[in-house]
Every structure is written in C-alpha cells, then in structure tokens.
Amino acid sequence: MIAPRWRVDCVVGARPNFMKIAPILRAFSADGRFATRLLHTGQHYDAAMSAVFFEALDIPAPDVTLDAGSGGPAEQTGRAMIGLEATLSEQPPDLLVVVGDVNSTLAAALVGAKLGIPIAHVEAGLRSFDRSMPEEINRLVVDRLADLLLTTERAANAHLLAEGAKPEQIAFVGNVMIDSLRFAAPRAVPAAQTLAAHGFAPQAEGFGLLTLHRPATVDDGEKLARLIAALGRIAARIPLFFPVHPRTRAALARLGGLDIDPRRLCLAPPVGYLEMVGLIRDARFVVTDSGGVQEETTALGVPCFTFRDNTERPATIDCGGNRLVGTDPAALEAAIAAFLRDGAAPARLPELWDGAAAPRIAAAIAGFLERRTGPPVGAGPA
C-alpha cells in the first residue's frame, strides 16, 4: 500500500460545514494520496445541530474537538482560534481546508495564515454585497487569506478576479453540497413520517416548508411579528411546517403569545439532515433565508422563495429555481399566492451541480500541492 504524500487538515464547526466536508473526506480517502485529520471547533455542539449530521452523512468522528461553543461572533471566533492555534502549531499540515462562511471558517483561516499554512477555501467567491451580514465579512476575509479558491459557480470566479485574485488560484469545481444531497437522498425520511411525528397532517393540498434563522430576519421583534402574522395568513391557504432554529425560537419567545393556528402553522424543533432532505423534496415550496437551502431546493427542483434582499448564490435564481422576494411580508404573501394560483416554470440545474464536485476538489488540491512540493521522490518525467 502506497503511503499518503500529504497531510491535510479539514476544519468544521457548524451545521453547513458538515454537508460540505463529508464528500470531500470520502474523495480524499478514495484518492489515496492524502492523510486527513478532521478538526471540529465545537461551534455547533448540541446533538440536533452537530452529532446527527455526522451519523447521517457517514462522517468519521473528529480527530480533534474543541470548545468554541456559543456566544457573540468575536467570542466564538476567538475561542476557536485559541484551540486551533495550539492544535495546528503542534502538528502543522501541508494544507488546511476550510469550507463555507461560518465563524469557524474565519477562525481557521486566520490561524492558518498566521502560522504560514497554505489554505484552500471551498465555496470561495460567493458575495451578497451586504456587509451587514456576518457571513459576508467572513467570506471576504477568508478569500483574501486563502491560497486556493474553489468555487461553486462562475459568478464567484468573476468576483474573485475583480478583487485581485490570480487566475491560477481559482478552480471552478461545482457545488459539493449537491454531492451530500445525492448521497443522502436514498435514505431521506419521507416528509409524511416527519410531519406525523409532530402531529401535523396536511391533506391533498400539501404543505410549505419554512426555514428562517438569520439575525436580520428574526432579531427585530416588530419585524418578526409582522412576518409571523403574514405566515399565519399564508398558512390559512396552505399548511406550513416550520422547524424552528434555536435563535428563532428565542426570538419568538420574546414576542410572547403567537396568534397562529397550530393545525395550519406547525412550529417544530430542528430536524436532522435526512428529515430535512425529505421535507424539502416533498414540499410544494420552501420559504427560507438560508443559503444552503436555496441550493438544496434548486437541486431537488422545489420552488424556493428567499426572504432576503440579496443572495450570494445567484445561480439559484439564474436557473429559475429560486425567487428573491425581499423582506416585506406582503411581498412574500403575494409571491406565494401567485405560485398557488399559477404554479412555477420548470427550472434547470446549474453548471457542475452534478454530485461529482468532491473528486474535482481533491484533484484541484492535489494539483496545488504538487506545484508546491514537486513530484514524489523517484518519479520519472511526466
């Protein structure tokens, strides 16, 4: 058996990271040239937000688990940096792989850059052009620090080039989230089973699915109250199922009593990944402020209404699968009413959202490391 040539450390911390790293780890293993170490910062530490994803996506247990925990962005990022610095200083890898745009991604990129470790950023170049979003700041900083920029759509390449990245730093590899989606789809829990487990039973009319968690959506009590009132009116037309993020649950609690009919608008705890895939697949439509859900609905061909003024994933709109409705609840109501009346036009799948992004990522990283380290000792001419 040939010994691996390179040691690569992969950093995860929050729910969106897990779906991206799982197929990458499998691709590294299949390639044979990589020894990998999985570092979990502990940004999401409860079972509903972390452990269930490792099981559902067949991710090996982390080699190192830190304790970033909850708290404000600076506190969380700082704790992750302290733990990562100690770990990476003791055993520096040949490359550090970071994914997405969460605080753990930023923490790892900052530590890696200060320690002189090359960094590869999976999902580079996405831009909402809204710096009020914490994720946008993370994206900008991580892409500036990364040595290899792995992109999910061609618009991301253009953003990176406009910001001064060199063409040779960029590789368009496609969307690795779709790799995980295809891996999970055969084992997805049917929506009817999940709905029944929460005492919710839509009939022939079907149901709509909600996922809302961003600070801009839920932290302002007055705005959230207007949104919930609008969702109640939408639910009178078609039942809505709402797995509520812990942040959103706390915001709703601050509002006090909600004037909703639980038979039409079901507020449920967070669900696992296999349950969420089944819910998205079987829903008539999805309302979200999540970037990842915009991608998953697009890949599954389910109409998506994004309750935001911008999106860093324009490919989902360009292909016809996603509609950006803004943050006016009345506009959301109007969009859903039009959809229920007229339906939606067929959408197409964005380029390289084919379930084979992870092998392309492994190949791009191998090429990058080959250029840095040269061919293996004893290798003949190409």
Per-residue pLDDT band at 377 (split at 50, 70, 90): low
Q: Are 270 and 193 in contact (CB under 8 A)?
A: no
* 2-16, 28-42, 105-119, 353-367: least confidently modelled range: 2-16
Q: Is residue 35 part of a domain?
A: yes
Degrees, nearest 5: CA angle 275-277-280:
110
Q: How far, in Å, CA of 122 to CA of 10, rounded?
A: 11
% of the chain exceeding 90 in pLDDT: 84
Q: Which two tokens stand for residue 30?
A: 């299949």
Q: Which of 124, 104, 101 is nearest to 62 (CA)?
A: 104
Say yes or no to pLDDT of 379 above 60: no
Q: For residue 6, give the nearest of 366, 374, 378, 306 by alpha carbon.
A: 366
Shared-domain flag, residues 21 and 134: yes
| pLDDT of residue 354 exceeding 50 | yes
Cα 215–221–226 angle (5° rounding)? 105
Tell whether 223 is covered by a domain: yes
Q: Are residues 138 and 27 in the same domain?
A: yes
Q: pLDDT for 206-223, tens place per residue? A: 999 999 999 999 999 999
Is 181 among the domain residues?
Answer: no
Quick one: DSSP state of residue 308?
Answer: S
Both 45 and 129 in a single domain? Answer: yes
For residue 38, what are the β-bridge partners? 10
Statement: residue 49 has pLDDT above 70: no
The yes-or-no answer on residue 245 being catalytic is no
121 and 200 in a common domain: no
Count the alpha carbons within 13 Å of 185 in the hemisphere toward its beta carbon: 15
> Model confidence over 240-291: pLDDT tens digits?
999 999 889 999 999 987 888 999 999 999 999 999 999 999 999 999 999 9
End-to-end Cα, the chain, rounded Å: 22
Do 11 and 152 lie in a common domain? yes
Q: Are residues 230 and 299 in the same domain?
A: yes
In-domain check, residue 233: yes
Cα dihedral 266, 267, 270, 276 in deg (nearest 10): 30
Question: Is the same domain home to 33 and 100?
Answer: yes
Provide the pLDDT for residue 347. 93
Pick the closest to residue 35 from 2, 12, 65 (CA basis).
2
User: Range of 67's domain?
Assistant: 6-174+353-373
What total of structural domains would you count in the chain? 2
Taking the model in full, what pTM does it have? 0.93
Query: Is residue 88 located within the same domain as residue 30?
Result: yes
d(CA 267, CA 243): 6
Q: What is the mean pLDDT of residues 317-340?
A: 97
Catalytic: which of 44, 121, 159, 213?
213
83 and 166 share one domain: yes
Residue 154 lies in a domain: yes
pLDDT beyond 80 at 51: no
Residue 301 has pLDDT above 90, yes or no: yes
Whether the per-residue pLDDT at 102 is higher than 80: the answer is yes
Do 53 and 198 lie in a common domain?
no
Per the CB < 8 A criterion, the answer to whether 175 and 153 are in contact is yes
Residue for token digits 């200083």?
A: 89
Q: Which residue has the higher pLDDT, 55 or 273?
A: 273
Question: What CATH number is attached to the domain comprising 18?
Answer: 3.40.50.2000
Specify if 199 maps to a domain: yes
Strand extents, DSSP E, 41-82: 64-65
Check residue 46 and give its pLDDT.
Answer: 53
pLDDT of residue 234: 97
**Where in 236-296 does DSSP place strands (E)?**
240-243, 265-268, 285-288
Does residue 167 lie in a domain region? Answer: yes
Q: What is the C-alpha to C-alpha distance for residues 272 and 158, in angstroms, rounded to an integer?
A: 35
Quick one: pLDDT band at residue 376, thresholds 50, 70, 90? low
pLDDT at position 16, please? Answer: 86
Does 279 fall in a domain? Answer: yes
DSSP string, 123-155: TTT---S-TTSHHHHHHHHHHHH-SEEEESSHH
Identify whether residues 336 and 217 lie together within a single domain.
yes
Contacts of 123 (CB under 8 A, 6+ apart): 20, 99, 100, 101, 150, 151, 152, 176
Q: What is the pLDDT of residue 257?
A: 76
Q: What is the pLDDT of residue 126?
A: 98
Whether residue 137 contacts residue 107, with contact meaning beta carbons closer than 8 Å, is answered with no
d(CA 307, CA 320): 16
Let me know: does 146 contact 109? Beta carbons within 8 Å: yes
48, exposed or middle or buried, with CB in 10 Å at 0-12, 13-18, 19+? middle
Q: What is the pLDDT of residues 109-151, one digit of tens each?
A: 999 999 999 999 999 999 999 999 999 999 999 999 999 999 9
| φ/ψ bin of 245: left (φ > 0), alpha (ψ from -120 to 50), beta (otherwise) | beta
CA-to-CA separations, 80 to 86, 185, 333, 361, in angstroms, rounded: 10, 32, 41, 25
Distance separating alpha carbons of residues 269 and 172, to the nearest angstrom: 37
Let me know whether 338 and 368 are in one domain.
no
